[in-house]
Amino acid sequence: MPNEYLSSQQDRTWSLFVGVMMWMPAELDAYLERSADLRHAEYGVLRCLSLIEDREIHMSRLAATANVTPSHLSRIVGRLEKRGLLARSADPADARKILARLTTSGAQLLTEVEPGYVAEVRARVFELLDPQQVDQLEDLAEAILTPLRSECVDLLPPRSARADHG
């Protein structure tokens, strides 16, 4: 019979991982609120759209990729649409489906906010790790995320040469 409990190392590791998942978004959310009046979920939607070749995706796929419910995505998209950062339209191939598209203003806002966001991420993660730990973090994150949401991994650019540590 398998052990019903995590080992002490597994429990500690899981608790640390949960702490990172809870507190890192909160810290980044605070930065985004101050600098661009954006919530982290809104930034995530804009960034997701910016990674897609045509900067356009079906709302249902965007909800799955951004890990939000369709109703939550609808509220996020509504706020972003009011600010002119993205636009919704019927899919010409199937009018029952709605497309979300990153606007020029949305792309411009991302261009403006990204340097500060990157600085926050760098200070809170990458400056605390040596290059080997960064490689390990990439490997671990991909190993965990791929079975959960391979479509999220598929949106990312391919792995670069391991010598590039930024």
Residue 45 near residue 59, CB atoms below 8 Å? no
pTM of this prediction?
0.80
The CATH 1.10.10.10 domain(s) of the chain lie at 36-124
> How many whole angstroms separate alpha carbon 108 and alpha carbon 92?
26
With pLDDT > 90 as the criterion, what percentage of the chain qualifies? 75
pLDDT value, residue 108: 98
> CATH topology for 36-124?
Arc Repressor Mutant, subunit A (1.10.10)
Encode pLDDT of 90-110 as tens digits: 999 999 999 999 999 999 999
pLDDT beyond 80 at 166: no
User: Residue 52: what are its φ and ψ, rounded to 5°?
Assistant: -85, 140
Exposed e or buried b per residue across 89-108, where buried means at least 16 C-beta atoms within 10 angstroms of its C-beta = eeeeeeeeebbbebbeebbe
DSSP E strand stretches across 8-149: 56-58, 86-91, 94-102
pLDDT value, residue 162: 52
Encode pLDDT of 6-33 as tens digits: 999 999 999 999 999 999 999 999 999 9
pLDDT, the chain, mean:
91
Average pLDDT rounded to a whole number, residues 160-166:
58
